[in-house]
Amino acid sequence: MTAKIISGKDVAADIREQIRAEVETLAEKGIQPGLATILIGEDPGSHSYVTAKNKTAKDLGFHSVQETHGADISEADLLALVDKYNRDEKVHGILVQLPLPAHIDENKVIAAIDPDKDVDGFHPYNVGRLVIGQPGFASCTPAGIMELIARSGAETEGAEVVVVGRSNIVGKPMAIMMMQKAQGANATVTVVHTRTRDMAAHTRRADILIVAAGRANSVTADMVKPGAVVIDVGTNRVGVTESGKAKLAGDVDFEAVKEVAGAITPVPGGVGPMTITMLMKNTLISAKRHAGLDA
């Protein structure tokens, strides 16, 4: 039996409509969520991501500001730019697009962002609050995955969850979210990575398998438990289509795994649309908090 497809595109569209409705309500009170994005250098992927983020923000009715600077910007000037938006009352969320040029300390830049405007959820303050289960801003990709799992109907309480990958952006926060004592979580979590001795032995136990390995088709059908929910975080360029567009593949061998899994996210159209959507949701939450409203 072929797996049910979990459409991140559809879920993201639903959440964006909810955000748009809230933005309209806030406008009646004279409140407009504001997002500032800072892009350094000429990385094509970063330019694409930031363009999409600004387009989405404007479409939802946000005040959106984009700062684009060359790769030769000094660390001091970038930190001054962050401080400018920390103090800007029209801006409720600040995003510095990563990666940054080698001469700039990413950790220093992330730490310079006001934690109350850290809508990416990367600041150590927000990571710490996530670990102890207190309100803050959660990293956007894992937060989006939580929405996908919830809307797939998967039972998480007591479930065996295996996370492939241990990055600070996806793997680690994902594991923390799934193990929280909270609705939609309460799972037993295992994290596997490049030094795991027998990865397949772990992945075959997973009721919910979340793959953020960073390698195309690295999880194959024989590594998946029949009926499992499979969330594929990967977006890997593996060639060019006949029309000249980039051909994408996930970290999961989709065609083979969909015949084993109970539900699976596609690439593209799965986790990707959720990341930007959760960034918008975090910015909305920040605007409401700054206005003294329940978020």
Is 128 a member of any domain?
no
**Which structural domain range is residue 203 located in?**
140-272
Number of domains in the chain: 2
The answer to whether residue 40 scores a pLDDT higher than 70 is: yes
What is the Cα–Cα distance from 20 to 33, expressed in whole angstroms?
A: 11
**Residue whose token pair is 């970290």:** 251
What CATH number corresponds to the domain at position 263? 3.40.50.720
Give per-residue pLDDT as tens, 79-91: 999 999 999 999 9
Q: How far is CA 183 from CA 14, 25, 143, 149, 251, in A?
A: 21, 28, 14, 12, 28
What is the Cα–Cα distance from 179 to 242, expressed in whole angstroms?
A: 44
Is 293 a member of any domain?
no
**Residue whose token pair is 């793997």:** 171
Is 283 a member of any domain?
no
What is the Cα–Cα distance from 210 to 263, expressed in whole angstroms?
A: 12
Domain boundary among 85, 119, 153: 119
Does residue 147 share a domain with residue 82? no
pLDDT at 87: 98
Give per-residue pLDDT as tens, 179-194: 999 999 999 999 999 9
The answer to whether residue 1 scores a pLDDT higher than 80 is: no
Does residue 100 share a domain with residue 36? yes
What CATH number corresponds to the domain at position 52? 3.40.50.10860
Query: Residues 6 or more apart from 197 whose CB is under 8 A from it?
Result: none
Does residue 152 share a domain with residue 237? yes
The answer to whether residue 49 scores a pLDDT higher than 90 is: no
The answer to whether residue 253 scores a pLDDT higher than 80 is: yes
Q: Which residues are catalytic?
A: 53, 97, 120
Does residue 210 share a domain with residue 105? no
Is 100 a member of any domain?
yes
What is the Cα–Cα distance from 17 to 62, expressed in whole angstroms?
A: 13
Q: When comparing pLDDT for 295 and 15, which is higher?
A: 15
Is 53 a member of any domain?
yes
Mean pLDDT for 113-124 is 97
pLDDT at 201: 98
| pTM as predicted | 0.93
Give per-residue pLDDT as tens, 124-159: 999 999 999 999 999 999 999 999 999 999 999 999
What is the Cα–Cα distance from 8 to 143, expressed in whole angstroms?
A: 12
Does residue 183 share a domain with residue 96? no
Does residue 190 share a domain with residue 71? no
Is 159 a member of any domain?
yes
What is the Cα–Cα distance from 213 to 218, expressed in whole angstroms?
A: 7
